[in-house]
Structure 1
């Protein structure tokens, strides 16, 4: 590593050769953050997003959203966001390839949600986390919840064939709360959600002179 850094054309990289055992850049969040897998199975109804403390180290295979709240977790864990993902994300073979620039940065968030609507999303998001814990939250591998209960990973919990009913119901409630942040009438399909999101995206672009 020392030789590699000394051979760099960047002065800052050459200076780091004095400490070859240390990372050149520290990008680990210092606050709670969302962890979004870079690649996730297309068969899942939801990408299993983690809501983690800064002591959990994020690898280079994930996207992170520092300083996130339950509201942010809720919106990104919703059917609305997943409808957007399915339309705009890249693919690795057939799997979702989540990009911070294409998927996240272009996602039209609710433009002006009322405080009560934000609070409902946060409450529903907490219910999703609670349901994960009840069913065997796998944020850090395999974690037994209570004696005699089988542990489960997030991959297990979000397998569409065996997704636990409490988690299914929690996500359904979250979907309703997030949908209401966008409009009062209910969405009846992902097609409606996608059409609404693209219309909102176009309006945002026009408002910025695009």
Structure 2
């Protein structure tokens, strides 16, 4: 309140040319200034005198933390802990738990405005699992909403509000989602009215899923890449290189290229006995030497090992057959994830995620709003963009696919692909902008959504919350089989 009054003083002076008191705030002797994470809260007020703890702590992702903030996280969670890779705001949750636990005061209730990333991805099976095991119970929550600040550039932040107690209370919980209030017996850390569930990384591929991995990393300092002009010139001057010059796609090329490729690479996976001849062409020896030195300077042993074969990408994950491409990072503003089939002659880089031997049924399911609801909940983030990984896919509950359903899914997938083909002048990035999606493509997606929802026993009006309830139950049932 004092902060709000101070902010309004400056605004009001420009109107009434007077500095007056507007709010009946008689004293501010209970305000303490300092780093809240390094202060001993019990020296300010004893826990048994507290009823509520609430606030809007700072949200700071791992890449943006100051040295002081990095040390705060180490002090609270321990050096090397998984939590230190998550958002800075979780420090206040842990601080509140420690504050109350030390005094065995379980009547305190707490609520914080936070970035929504703390209720997604790896934060749930790590940080939240420890909080729940320590006795924390979510009493109410506000699911993701966009909050703009009053700064000139008005940054929009995706937030949640989580209210919790430090022991289980046998009462009705309240979950707010937009204008909808759901009263329920339990709210889990994904902010869904279901029992607690911990969806963590799954290193092994389930039997019912195609193999998924990131594309091939070059780790070459740019020496294996060519512009279209360079590729054309090199092929003309050194014909021996022409069969080793391949189109290349990262996430940017996949989303923005039209009919012509904008990037090429030197792909010597099958060079064999021609390597001595290759080295003589167009400064290849210099290129390879540069790569070797760059890799040897790495602290990673696998990169140092790759210095032995500097003409190759550091890792070869290129499929031999047609494959699906998914950008590793996808804008939060897209209703669907742009996904597409790719010829094996086109090399996929490690800014993409690829699915080997994918079918049209796989495509239809992954391109659905149902799958997006799952991805938005369990995927990690880079800034505000979603980070797609094999864990999202491997943990995703698939429906039972009858032959009849497979045929319908194939036709539905073809409908989406055909609609895209109707717009050759638009890139995938253009087609999947929320306001610019062509009507025929949107219609194809809507039909696909309806089909997928039916396959999971849901109606076409199902909300994300409805979808997640079904998917979480399927995940739990399969995990317990």
Q: Same fold (TM over 0.5)?
A: yes
> Secondary structure of 1:34's partner?
strand
Q: How many pairs align?
A: 190
* Counterpart pick for 2:435 among 154, 161, 166: 161
Q: 1:24 to 1:87 in 2, by over 3 A?
A: closer
User: Post-superposition shift, 1:106?
Assistant: 0.8
Distance 2:417 2:464 in 1: 24
Distance 1:199 1:68 in 2: 26
1:119 aligns to what? 407
**Runs of 5+ in structure 2 lacking a partner?**
1-290
CA contact 1:83–1:190 (8 Å) conserved in 2: yes
Give CA-to-partner distance per residue, 1:163-186, whole Å, 9 cap, x none.
110000000111122222222755
**2:385 maps to which residue?**
95
Give the whole-Å Cα distance in 2 for the aligned partners of 1:100 and 1:34. Answer: 13
Look up the match of 1:202: 476
Q: State the 1:57 CA deviation.
A: 1.4
TM-score, L = length of structure 1: 0.82
Relative CO higher for 1 or 2, CA cutoff 8 Å, sep ≥ 6? Answer: 1
| Unpaired stretches in structure 1, ≥5 consecutive residues | 137-150
Q: Please name the residue that 2:323 is paired with.
A: 33
The structure whose Rg is larger is: 2
Secondary structure, in 3 states, of the residue corresponding to 1:42?
coil
Q: Which secondary structure state, in structure 1, belongs to the residue aligned with residue 377 of structure 2?
A: helix
CA RMSD of aligned residues (A): 2.4
1:15–1:172 CA distance, 2 compared to 1 (3 A): closer
* Runs of 4+ with >3 A deviation: 1-11, 13-16, 184-187
Q: Does 1:128 align with 2:416?
A: yes
**Structure 2 residue matching 1:31: 3-state secondary structure:** coil
Helix, strand or coil for the counterpart of 2:347? coil
More helix by share: 1
Equivalent residues of 1:32, 1:53 under 8 A apart: yes
- Normalising by structure 2, we get a TM-score of 0.37
